[in-house]
Amino acid sequence: MTAPTTPTGAGEPTASDPAPGGRRVRHRVRATLLLTGLTAALVAVALVSAGLGAYPVPVDQVAASLLHAIGLDLGTPPDRIGQTVLWDVRLPRVTLAVAVGAALGVAGAMMQGIFGNPLAEPGVIGVSSGAAVGAILVIFSGLTVFGHWTIIASSFVFGLATTLFVYVFARSHGRTEVVTLLLTGVAVNAVAGAAIGLMTNFSQDAQIQTITFWQLGSVSTATWAKVAAITPCLLLGLAVIPLYARRLDLLALGEGPARHLGVDVERMRLVVIAALALLTSAAVAFAGIVAFIGLVVPHIVRMVTGPGHRILLPSSALGGGLLLMSADLLARTAAAPAEIPLGVVTAALGGPFFFFLLHRTRAKQGGWS
């Protein structure tokens, strides 16, 4: 009696069907290289950015000053003027740019995961505009109920309300439609623009200048106090990563399979939406409307490491900080001594990328008609 035969290739991996263990190892290697590369690039660009400006400070002196601040007497720090420029002007700006970029990068990745839509991004679907309305309303009315936190609180409430509205309105038969999401974003941006225009029309000259700052985006008014204020918001938003990254991966399989695997989908949505609204609102409160960071960064990360959120979310934080800091460096040096609004730079970079994603998504779905 002969033993039963198995189909050719069954039971053992081939060159075209690598072993799962090998794939996992390669994935970990790519993830480690990506996180290490992003961290190294972030530090390098930060040192360069902190040294460039009207009063240049060499990179080695910037590094020496930072090392001296943590008790390591290595290198030669800059002179007194250089130290003042570095610690009172440049470093707060660089740090705030990294924090805002990290918040927007993670918020974009979370939004794409929870909406199940690759074109979701706080600026595109109107969440940033909604949060800006809350911030500008505080400026226009002069409210100071919570002191420096009033703008953040108002921005968060409006940002959360906008996120929930877009999410509910764009959902249909258990999924988020691409066209509905984009059209909802157009409508929300239009309504928010009308509200901002109305408040601008009845504002004083000083208020108009501040409102213009929110509309164009900038981190030029960065201070250590603002860095300290945005840090708790950023940490609370990032705290979602270890708790819900794996569950977002399961949600990508569909709501039904995710529930069968033990995921409380509705609870997860509420937590993730609150986190991304907090991140977006904090970014808008301190830097104004800065679009496309949350769209560009997660897609670039996915091209390198795949869609797994355990790597995607922290990589989007690092990549967002790196991209926004680089954009701010370009904004303040490309036309020196004048400064290009930060939102203009990110829109110029992100707009063409959005067209590319729009075309690719439509081609994959075979059209939207």
Q: Please give the Cα distance from 120 to 140 (Å, whole number).
A: 30
- Taking only the tens place, the pLDDT of each residue in 218-266 is 999 899 999 998 999 999 999 999 999 999 999 988 888 988 989 998 8
Q: Give the per-residue pLDDT at 8.
A: 39
Contacts of 157 (CB under 8 A, 6+ apart): 134
Note whether 195 and 132 are within 8 A (CB). Answer: no
CA dihedral sign of residues 61, 63, 66, 67? negative
Note whether 46 and 65 are within 8 A (CB). Answer: no
Q: Give the per-residue pLDDT at 174.
A: 67
Note whether 15 and 21 are within 8 A (CB). Answer: no
Q: Please give the Cα distance from 136 to 129 (Å, whole number).
A: 10
CA distances from 75 to 42, 45, 60, 72, 83 (A): 21, 19, 7, 9, 14
Note whether 293 and 9 are within 8 A (CB). Answer: no
Place of tokens 């600026």: 123
158-187 burial string, b = 16+ CB within 10 Å, else e? Answer: bbbbbbbebbeebeeeeebebeebbebbee
Q: What are phi and psi of 312, to 5 degrees?
A: -60, -45
Q: Give the per-residue pLDDT at 45.
A: 97
**Residues in the chain, how many?**
369
Q: What are phi and psi of 341, to 5 degrees?
A: -55, 140
Q: Give the per-residue pLDDT at 61.
A: 95
Q: Please name which of 214, 164, 162 lies closest in space to residue 190, comparing C-alpha atoms.
A: 162
Q: Give the per-residue pLDDT at 368.
A: 52
CATH of domain 58-362: 1.10.3470.10
Q: pTM score, two decimals?
A: 0.86
Q: Please give the Cα distance from 291 to 255 (Å, whole number).
A: 29
Q: Please name which of 48, 173, 106, 138 lies closest in space to residue 309, comparing C-alpha atoms.
A: 106
Contacts of 58 (CB under 8 A, 6+ apart): 51, 78
Contacts of 359 (CB under 8 A, 6+ apart): none
Which parts of the chain register pLDDT below 50? 1-17, 369
Q: Give the per-residue pLDDT at 369.
A: 46
Q: Strand 175-176 vs strand 171-172: parallel, antiparallel, or unpaired? A: antiparallel
Place of tokens 């707009």: 351
Q: Give the per-residue pLDDT at 1.
A: 43
